[in-house]
């Protein structure tokens, strides 16, 4: 059985390491909290396994530790920012706060970010917006990892999309999905552990279905629901292009040359209605969830709303997460390199 680490202790350790690498205290904390958020929801693919590549990119310059985001254009409710190649999570939090401010003024706030880096777990940002009583919509592009239906090589990113509703955090519906059949991170985790993957997740570099995670990384992921996932990914690239970002085929890979900024695009939308409509909207969502519950087949254990499995894991993890052998070894190596004592193993 994998050891369980305390999420808060590991986040504090990651913050200290990122500070040693050159990030400001605030930026280091934001990046670490995003990784911790992913672990708390049981999505290890976006958790502390991502720390080594972030550290390498800070050290080699692909992540600009002294970034200063600037405004490209401002139409009031819609703003475009240049992220100045900063840490993706730090740039994203800056953009989210601006989107929330504009939504308070106009009912809607949309912020597009170009020249950005990988920002980690997308739902971290849609939940920030939902915590302010607004609907949060967040998406971004990634480097190419997914083939088109009928195509044999990677051309689009996994281009995730998340929508969070402004109900209480304990029972909040959240859509959080890659537009590929599975996130790239899950294949990375499988490959690191030498595990196979289900047929239907990916193809190899010859376009053939594969169960080899290593071959999948050399090939391409398949789009979720075929042309539907592909269409969503394509349109997310189009959305971020409006803000001046490069599209998936032309950005720098996260696991490529660490000295190069990725030049990704991020999209943040905060949407609110009048205050006196909030209760009616929440009641409509509660009624929808009740109808879902009633639709359960006798043979099914439960019918869950979007994001409920992650909420259940967050409730049940008791502030800890299971650390794979590969992650434990990575933490120990990083701790030694940066002279920051590793979080206590049980």
Give tens-digit pLDDT for 318-346: 999 999 999 999 999 999 999 999 987 65
Number of domains in the chain: 1
Confidence of residue 150 (pLDDT cuts 50, 70, 90): confident
Contacts of 90 (CB under 8 A, 6+ apart): 23, 26, 27, 30, 31, 67
Domain housing 94? 4-180+223-273+311-338
Assigned domain for 30 exists: yes
Q: Kindly state the percentage of the chain with pLDDT values over 90.
A: 93
Percent of the chain exceeding pLDDT 70 equals: 99
Reply yes or no on whether the pLDDT at 5 is more than 70.
Answer: yes
pLDDT attached to residue 346: 59
In a domain, 185, yes or no: no
Q: Is 248 within the bounds of a domain? A: yes
Question: What does the pLDDT read at residue 2?
Answer: 82
**Backbone phi and psi for residue 197, each to the nearest 5 degrees, phi listed first:** -125, 160
Could you tell me if residue 295 is inside a domain? no
Does residue 165 belong to any structural domain of this protein? yes
Question: Does some domain include residue 189?
Answer: no
pLDDT, residue 192, reads: 86
Mean confidence (pLDDT) of the chain? 96
Question: What is the tens place of the pLDDT at every residue in 72-89?
Answer: 999 999 999 999 999 999
* pLDDT interval class at 118 (50, 70, 90): very high
pTM: 0.96
Question: Which of the residue ranges 5-19, 133-147, 273-287 would you say has the lowest mean pLDDT?
Answer: 273-287
200: in domain: no
Given a cut of 80, whether residue 186 has pLDDT beyond it is yes
Q: Which residues contact 69 (CB under 8 A, 6 or more apart)?
A: 81, 82, 83, 84, 86, 91, 94, 95, 113
Is position 303 within any domain?
no
Q: What CATH code is carried by the domain that includes residue 123?
A: 3.30.1370.60
């Amino acid at each position: 059985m994998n050891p369980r680490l305390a999420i808060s202790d590991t986040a504090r350790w990651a913050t200290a390491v990122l500070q040693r690498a050159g990030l400001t205290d605030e930026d280091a904390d934001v990046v670490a909290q995003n990784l911790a958020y992913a672990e708390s929801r049981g999505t290890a693919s976006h958790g502390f396994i991502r720390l080594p590549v972030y550290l390498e990119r800070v050290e080699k310059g692909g992540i600009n530790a002294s970034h200063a985001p600037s405004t490209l254009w401002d139409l009031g409710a819609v703003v475009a920012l240049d992220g100045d190649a900063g840490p993706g999570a730090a740039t994203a939090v800056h953009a989210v706060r601006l989107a929330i401010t504009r939504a308070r003024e106009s009912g809607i706030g949309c912020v597009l970010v170009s020249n950005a880096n990988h920002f980690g777990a997308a739902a971290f940002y849609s939940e920030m917006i939902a915590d302010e009583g607004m609907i949060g919509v967040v998406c971004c592009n990634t480097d190419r990892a997914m083939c088109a239906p009928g195509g044999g090589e990677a051309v689009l990113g996994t281009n995730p999309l998340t929508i969070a509703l402004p109900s209480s955090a304990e029972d909040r519906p959240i859509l959080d999905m890659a537009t590929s059949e599975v996130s790239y991170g899950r294949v990375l985790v499988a490959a690191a552990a030498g595990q196979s993957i289900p047929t239907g997740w990916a193809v190899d570099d010859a376009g053939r279905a594969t169960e080899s995670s290593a071959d999948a990384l050399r090939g391409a992921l398949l789009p979720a629901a075929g042309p539907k996932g592909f269409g969503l990914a394509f349109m997310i690239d189009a959305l971020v292009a409006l803000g001046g970002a490069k599209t998936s085929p032309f950005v720098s890979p996260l696991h490529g040359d660490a000295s190069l900024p990725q030049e990704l695009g991020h999209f943040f939308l905060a949407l609110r209605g009048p205050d006196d409509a909030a209760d009616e909207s929440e009641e409509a969502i509660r009624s929808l969830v009740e109808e879902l519950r009633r639709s359960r087949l006798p043979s099914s254990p439960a019918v869950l709303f979007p994001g409920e499995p992650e909420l259940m894991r967050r409730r049940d993890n008791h502030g800890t997460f299971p650390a794979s052998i590969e992650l434990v070894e990575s933490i120990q190596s990083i701790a030694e390199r940066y002279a920051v004592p590793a979080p206590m193993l049980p």
